[in-house]
Amino acid sequence: MEVFLQQLINGISLGSIYALIALGYTMVYGIVQLINFAHGDVYMVGAYLGFFATAILGWPFLPALLLSMVVCAILGMVIEKLAYTPLRNAPRIAALITAIGVSLFLEYGMMLLVTPQVRTFPQVLPEVQYKLLGNLVITNRQIIILVVTIALMLLLQYIVHKTKIGKAMRAVSHDKQAAQLMGINVNKTISATFAIGSALAAAAGVLVGIYYNAINPLMGIMPGLKAFVAAVLGGIGIIPGAMTGGFLLGIVEAMVSGYGKSLYRDPVAFVILIIILIVKPAGLFGKNVREKV
Partner 1 sequence: MLKVEDVHVYYGAIHAIKGISLEVPQGQIVTLIGANGAGKTSTLNTICGLIKPKSGRITFEGKDITGMATPEIVKMGLTQVPEGRRIFANMPVYENLELGAFLNKNKKEVAEAMENVYTRFPRLRERKNQLAGSLSGGEQQMLAMGRALMSKPRLLLLDEPSMGLSPILVKEIFSIIKELNEQGTTILLVEQNAKMALSIAHRGYVVETGRIVLAGDAKELLESPEVKRAYLGG
Measured in degrees and rounded to the nearest 5, phi and psi for residue 155 equal -60, -45
Judged by CB under 8 A, the number of residues near partner 1 is: 16
**Binders of partner 1 in range 89-108 (CB under 8 A):** none
Q: Among residues 220 and 241, whose Cβ is nearest to partner 1?
A: 241
Q: How far is CA 183 from CA 168, 178, 260, in A?
A: 10, 9, 56
The reply to whether 222 sits near partner 1 by the rule CB under 8 A is: no
Contact between 158 and partner 1 (CB under 8 A)?
A: no
Which of residues 56 and 181 has its CB atom nearest to partner 1 in the complex? 181
Residue 168 lies near partner 1 (rule: CB under 8 A): yes
Own/partner contacts of 80-86, CB < 8 Å, gap of 24 or more, are 80/190, 80/191, 80/194, 81/191, 83/38, 84/32, 84/34, 84/36, 85/187
- What CA–CA distance (Å, rounded) separates 25 from 108? 21
Contacts of 260 (CB under 8 A, 6+ apart): none
The residue within the footprint of partner 1, chosen from 6, 88, 157, 170 (CB under 8 A), is 170
Q: How far is the CB of 167 from partner 1 (least distance, A)?
A: 6
The footprint of partner 1 on residues 171-190 (CB under 8 A) is 171, 174-175, 177-185
Distance in Å, CB of 170 to partner 1, minimum: 7
Run of H or E residues at 129? strand 129-132
Helix (H, G, I), strand (E, B) or coil at 167: helix
Could you tell me which stretch among 143-151, 170-178, 258-266, 278-286 binds partner 1 (CB under 8 A)? 170-178
Residues near partner 1 (CB under 8 A): 164, 167-168, 170-171, 174-175, 177-185
